[in-house]
A and B are shown apart, each in its own frame.
Chain A
Amino acid sequence: MDLTRREMIKMSAAGFAAAALNISLPTTSAANEEIVVDKWIKGTCRFCGTGCGIYAGVRNGQLAGIRGNPQAVTNFGFLCVKGFKGYISMYHPDRLKFPMMRGADDKFHKVSWDDALNKVANKFKELQEKFGKDSVAFYGSGQCMTEESYTFNKLWKGGFRSNMVEGNPRLCMASAVGGYITTFGTDEPAGSYADIEKARTIFIVGSNMAECHPILFRRVARHKLQNPDNVNIMVCEPRLTPTARIADVWLPADPGTDLAVFHCMARELIKNNWTDAWYINNLCRFSTGAQDVDFKAYVDFLEQFTPEAVEKITRCPAGNIKEAARLFGSHGPSMSLWTMGLNQRTRGVWANNLIHNLHLISGNICKEGADSFSITGQPNACGGVRETGSLCQLLPGTRSVTDAAARADVEKSWKLPPGTIDPKPGFHTMEMFAKLGAENDQTKPLKAMLTSTTNPAQSLPNAPKYFKGMKEGFLVVLDIFPTRTTQLADVILPAAFIYEKGGVYGCSERRSQLTQKCVDPPGEAKSDVWIAAQIAKRMGMERLIPWNGDDPQIAYQMAWDDYRECVKLTEHSLYGMTYDRLKQLEAGLQWPCPDEKSPGTARRYVRGYDPIMNMPEIVKVPSSALIYFYGDKKHEGKANVLLRPYKGAEEPPDKDYPFFLTTGRVIEQWHTGTMTMRVAEIARSKPNAYLEIHPSDAKEYGIKEGDMVKIASRRGFNILPARVVKNSLPGILFVPWFDQEWDRMINRVTIDAFDEGSKQPEFKICAVKIEKLGEPKDVSDMYIISDPNAPFPEKV
């Protein structure tokens, strides 16, 4: 880089930063943006559910830089390390560049697209004829674009008449969906990120935002720093994470015990009169789930959860719980934010319900700064999977397949004969993988699966249990890199990265944003929509999925328009979000957005904000109602305050397995590390997984920093270097889950028990034992699977 260019870049870079903060800098006005890149294209980051707006700089046909979009109201121009660096992985030489099929020698061989697609379509047809329409499954991802999930969902539910459609959001968000639906009757939060800056108390639960959603955390931290005496942060989380470090009140409850903490907080709210009588009388219905009860029954139910009793169950100090309740109830508006720590549990739905309870009885919802807000982990778990209904029990608009009216509406929109869509839900994720297997295995009704943009062989809990099914079933994998899952596949289809195709992502705050195509994909890689449409065409369903042309921008827009039409008359309507509007608007739009004049909706259920309140063709809301939970199945506009009994983890520690194991992310790495581990600096800064252990436990087991430790559950083991840290309570171990290396793949250890309601597994909690194996060893190998033909490490 010569000096002139370097100086130009410096001035441009400073100019962008200044613009983001509305600062005018005379020194940068000389910088010529055109010199830095040929063009800037608006889009979103794909590395978490925050939905940060970016501009991608293209120079000589390739991406040369990413900058935050200062007008994006999600991030105001700021990005984290993954946002800046993650995209670089798309240029890694390991990219899958052509279709491959496994040959008789059990090795992958390069084939043409025609051969690969014909093989997939013919095999799917053959299996469906032989074993029925439900013998072939789709398993997608919260990282697929909305148009992609919608297309696959339509092909399966409308074309194959099969609800065997799932996606990895089942593993991260399903309990949040279950929580919203059982409490409010409909999915997703009422408020927006903008409530963060209006809240006076922020309750962060089961979320290490500082590492997993750094830009949202930045908003929280800045709000606190600018108002140190007036804003309180409370964190309920067993580890003293970087998030918990800024807390005014830390609630360190043992994993899986926080239901008792939330009930105790509710009890304190009521005992101290920190409740809102109007909300209780007008917006709350008290219910056990099976039957409605009155407020007194709720009060009586809570009586068992005294602070002292709860401290015994949870190890969380009684005084901290009381203080948390005081701040929540008397120092509002209060906003709760949570992620996987609440969801990835066998009582995930209940935990979500109990957070909603706190907001409802204290009147901390549907007001500025007050909301019960689930943050999603993946960039498009909300927009792509929840909203398009790409789960086994759902239809577009997050409607249920068991709802006859919803089925009829979708059939009409898809121009299908009445009765086409099967009313019976398909298999949820864990059932799907448990029932996938060989054609000659009569115990396995699923014979084939197509996965997109996900790596279940590494990301499923208790993963080894499911390897055999993946290996013996007919497995088609769409991805951009070789992974543990491609190692088990029959066909690998090389996919395009977000900036090589474009499309819409919908983030945690119901906001849809369009990314436009920036550059061409490498080799013969293709967009998911093209792949889905080509399979549909070869299976005689071209009329159902007509967007099968080569130009992704046209195909994706056609899919989007079809989707908009399909959900037009639903509470989740985004009919007003045309591609043209999404191209023009810097920050996208939040649904409900029922027509092209709608500015979107920052606050649902509130008259004057939410257009659905005035749309009797969708829901009937009494004209006198100012706040009305129109998802209420009883049409009373109320939300359910649920009396969920206390229940702890599925597998608490015992004498044989005396430790809690909890797992999670780190700031640098994303999910199974397939992309981020290919960015050199990221890989170097977190080159391997490790075991975090409290000094007192380490001492008892004679473990020193760096020692190699075997961690074992009833299902499997890992061998990891120890990090002796005071982050956790004694008795709680932590391992991040990004590492692909066999000995450090922590999902060989985790438990696959799941929530009965949401079917979401309890990744966050299982019982383990440990054993020191030896002295420190350098395992910073930054392991990645580079060769699709690299053998799978275990005989399957």
Chain B
Amino acid sequence: MIITGSAIMVRSGTDKSVERKLEAFPQVTFHGKSNSGTDLIVNFECGDQEELESLCRTIRDSIPEIVDIGHIYVNFEDEIEKIKGGLS
């Protein structure tokens, strides 16, 4: 399981509609946004990195108002145990 702290950059004036559209993705938790409304703060929760990348791609493709998705924090603590055990 990986959990991110991420920023979704959206076109000016589209924040509310993007927030609504994000509700369709249970892996996304919305926390808040910048005063300008162009940066939304979210978590992504995914099984692994591949899943995270494919989720971001899907979200980008289905919400054209999104300009960019960037991750600031990713927690991988479960994965260290896996890799140490040679499970990777």
Contacts and interface: CB of A to CB of B under 8 A. Distances in A.
Decide whether A and B assemble into one complex. Answer: yes
Interface of A: 1, 6, 9-18, 20-23, 25-28, 36, 57, 59, 62-68, 70, 77-79, 81, 84-85, 88-89, 91-93, 218, 221-222, 225, 678-685
20 contacts: A1-B1, A10-B43, A11-B31, A13-B4, A13-B74, A15-B5, A16-B72, A17-B42, A18-B31, A23-B32, A25-B41, A27-B32, A63-B80, A65-B75, A68-B72, A85-B74, A88-B76, A92-B83, A680-B82, A685-B53
Interface string B26-41: 0001011111000101
B68 A218 contact: yes
Nearest to B45: A10
Contacts of A92: 83, 88
A11 B84 CA distance: 27
A12 B5 contact: yes
A59 B41 CA distance: 25
Given A18-B31, A680-B88, A78 B49 contact: no
B70 A78 contact: yes
Given A21-B41, A65-B73, A685 B5 contact: no
B68 A25 contact: no
Nearest to A681: B49
B78 A67 contact: no
B3 A6 contact: yes
Contact of B72 (A27, A28, A78, A678): A78
B70 A218 contact: yes
Interface in B15-70: 29, 31-35, 39, 41-43, 45, 48-50, 53, 67-68, 70
Nearest to A5: B77
A88 B79 contact: yes
Q: Is the interface of B mostly helix, strand, loop or mixed?
A: strand
Contact of B33 (A16, A23, A684): A23
A679 B7 CA distance: 24
B32 A25 contact: yes
Contact of B5 (A14, A221, A678): A14
A9 B75 contact: yes
A62 B80 contact: yes
Nearest to A685: B50
B80 A14 contact: no
A93 B82 CA distance: 11
A77 B80 contact: no
Contacts of A85: 49, 74, 76
Contact of A27 (B31, B71, B88): B31
A9 B76 CA distance: 11
Contacts of A225: 9, 67-68
B5 A13 contact: yes
Contacts of A27: 31-32
Nearest to A60: B77
A681 B83 CA distance: 11
A305 B76 CA distance: 54
Nearest to B78: A1
Contacts of A683: 88
B74 to A, nearest CB: 4
Nearest to A14: B31
B86 A21 contact: no
Given A26-B32, A93-B86, A225-B9, 19 more contacts: A9-B75, A13-B4, A14-B5, A16-B5, A17-B7, A17-B72, A21-B34, A25-B31, A25-B32, A64-B75, A68-B71, A79-B71, A79-B72, A79-B74, A84-B49, A88-B83, A92-B83, A93-B83, A683-B88
A36 B9 contact: no
Contact of A84 (B39, B74, B80): B74
Interface of B: 1, 3-7, 9, 29, 31-35, 39, 41-43, 45, 48-50, 53, 67-68, 70-80, 82-84, 86, 88
Q: Sort A-B residue pairs by CB-CB distance and give the 6 closest, nearest first.
A: A13-B5, A681-B49, A17-B5, A680-B88, A67-B73, A64-B77
A84 B72 CA distance: 9
A23 B49 contact: no
A23 B5 contact: no
Contacts of B79: 88
Contacts of B45: 10
A201 to B, nearest CB: 21
Given A21-B7, A222-B9, A680-B48, A13 B75 contact: yes
Contacts of A11: 31
Contact of B50 (A57, A89, A681): A681
Residue of A22, A57, A65, A78 with most chain B CB atoms under a 10 A cut-off: A65
Contacts of B75: 9, 13, 36, 57, 64-65
A77 B4 CA distance: 13
A190 to B, nearest CB: 29
B76 A77 contact: no
A427 to B, nearest CB: 40
A567 to B, nearest CB: 35
B71 to A, nearest CB: 7
A14 B33 CA distance: 11
A6 B4 CA distance: 11
Given A6-B3, A91-B84, A16 B39 contact: no
Nearest to B42: A14
A319 to B, nearest CB: 30
B39 to A, nearest CB: 5
A503 to B, nearest CB: 23
A13 B67 CA distance: 21
Residue of B9, B73, B74, B75 with most chain A CB atoms under a 10 A cut-off: B73
A55 to B, nearest CB: 9
Contacts of B41: 14, 17-18, 21, 23, 25
Nearest to A786: B86
B77 A65 contact: yes
A307 to B, nearest CB: 35
Contact of A9 (B3, B31, B53, B82): B3
A478 to B, nearest CB: 23
A258 B81 CA distance: 49
Nearest to A782: B88
A14 B4 CA distance: 8
